[in-house]
Amino acid sequence: MTKRLPEDPAKKARMLTAAIQLFAEQGYEPTHVDQIAQQAAVSKGLVFKYFTNKEQLYLAALTAANQQFMTVIDRTVWQNSADLSAMIINATRYKIQLQLQFPAEFNLLMTAFVHQQQLPASSQAYVQKMFVANHDLTSELMTPVVALLQFKPGATAADLLEVIGYITNGYIHKIQRYLAAHPEITKIEQMEPLIQDLATKLKLVESGFIQG
């Protein structure tokens, strides 16, 4: 309803791109608005006109990064999988692909949780909500696949999802560290060994590590 200010979308996009990259690389405090403006090839004043203050800019960067993934995401990756392990492998492979494609956005979201405490309370709630939504989406996509499984007595779908969540989360961090240490990697194929390793582990979680 409220008439939006006429904003140049190209400039706004450049600012967000710069913000995403620099906040992801350096964190919240060490990134200066000056830097972002310069990298976006706009004036500092315009950054404040479009985003009010540094905190809002950070939040906008976070939202944009999240949107990036939400827009691009291909749900069929989750849906067209034979079984749970295959699904997770597909999903992980897909995430790595996204990470290779949008490294700055990916990094920003990964570090966002951590920087929450450095932001005013109001922002923290927003970040929180975003992550909950992400988590819910993943659950939603996984639930139908898990529902088909035949669980042992005492085991539940929720338990398995939670455990898988911890493992994949840990693995994503491992991969991120690996990619950061090996910037020459640009193709998903080069990550295949790690993906297969994760597959093995997930299979073992399904069927059990221990003889008996």
CB atoms within 10 A of CB 107: 20
Does 208 help bind a copy of itself (rule: CB under 8 A)? Answer: yes
Q: Which residues contact 50 (CB under 8 A, 6 or more apart)?
A: 7, 11, 12, 15
**Smallest separation, CB 40 to DNA (Å):** 9
* Residue selected from 8, 13, 27, 178 as contacting a copy of itself according to rule CB under 8 A: 27
Distances (CA, A) of 95 to 13, 22, 117, 141, 163: 23, 21, 26, 14, 19
Residue 99 in contact with residue 106, Cβ under 8 Å? yes
53 binds, among a copy of itself, DNA, none (CB under 5 to 8 A by kind): DNA
Does 111 help bind a copy of itself (rule: CB under 8 A)? Answer: yes
Which residue's entry shows tokens 């004036």? 43
Residue 40 in contact with residue 14, Cβ under 8 Å? yes
Tell me which residue of 100, 66, 56, 79 sits closest to 195, measured CA to CA. 100
Interaction mask 39-58, DNA, x per CB under 7 A: ---xxxxx-xx---xxx---
DSSP state of 5: P
In whole angstroms, what is the distance from residue 66 CA to residue 105 CA?
A: 8
Residue span binding a copy of itself (CB under 8 A) among the ranges 48-56, 97-105, 149-157, 182-190: 149-157
Residue span binding a copy of itself (CB under 8 A) among the ranges 65-73, 95-103, 166-174, 182-190: 166-174
4 binds, among a copy of itself, DNA, none (CB under 5 to 8 A by kind): DNA
* Residue selected from 26, 34, 169, 177 as contacting DNA according to rule CB under 7 A: 34
* Site residues (vs DNA, CB under 7 A): 1-8, 11, 31-34, 42-46, 48-49, 53-55
* Site residues (vs a copy of itself, CB under 8 A): 25-27, 29-30, 111, 114-115, 117-118, 149-152, 154-155, 159-160, 162-163, 165-167, 169-171, 200-201, 204-212
